[in-house]
Structure 1
Amino acid sequence: MSVLTNEASRTDILNRLKRAEGQLRGVQRMIDEGEPCLKVAQQLSAVRKALDSTFVRMTVCYIEQELDSRIEGGPAEKVRLESMMEEMETLLARMT
């Protein structure tokens, strides 16, 4: 199984996870403080969306990394790959 080697992608994904972790702590605090269920549910929905988008981002980074290592070509091919991956990320994000 491969690991993400692109440092910028790793940093982005870790930052997204830290934000989701903060949101989740906020939900826990809301429950402790007796906030209404509707407000808690809204925040839980936001946490789920954050995790879903992080999953999509990680998946796209992984695919891009694997394709990049296997594609032989010049800079034009790399640009086409980046464009395709941006479109794929947009499409996958709409599924969540």
Structure 2
Amino acid sequence: MQVDEESMKPVLNRLRRAQGQLAAVIAMVESGGECQDVVTQLAAVSKALDRAGFKIVASGMRQCLSDDSGTPPMTQEELEKLFLTLA
């Protein structure tokens, strides 16, 4: 699936933020951080990744349904499976 660069900028920013949060979680675990703080940051990473995934799917929906690249468009079942993967 090809999505224009302008649509992907917010996704890439969100993924980079999640990457930084994950690095912080790893450092917290390695240094014996407080359990509540680790879980809170881990939940933030998870939410950021989920939102990035939903943004990718939403941005690419038109391409998924009518791709001009010669590949057949995704079926409703394939789209449902894609969404459920993120759920």
TM more than 0.5: yes
Task: Return 5+ residue gaps in structure 1 as ranges.
Answer: 71-91
- Structure 2's unaligned 5+ residue stretches are 69-82
Structure 1 or 2: more helix by fraction: 1
| Structure 1 letter corresponding to 2:15 | L
**Separation (CA, whole Å) in 1 of partners of 2:32 and 2:46:** 21
Q: Which has the larger radius of gyration?
A: 1
Query: Within 5 A, what are the aligned runs for 1:75-94?
Result: none
Q: What displacement does 1:7 show?
A: 1.2
Count, aligned residues: 71
CA deviation profile, 1:10-56 (whole Å, cap 9, x unmatched): 22211111010000001011112211112101110010000000011
Aligned to 2:58: 60
Amino acid across the alignment from 1:21: Q
Counterpart of 2:34 in structure 1: which amino acid?
P
Name the counterpart of 2:2. 3
Q: 2: CA distance between counterparts of 1:35 and 1:53?
A: 26
Aligned to 1:75: none
Partner residue in 2 for 1:32 = 30
Length-normalised TM-score, structure 1? 0.62
**Aligned mates of 1:12, 1:45 — CA distance in 2:** 20
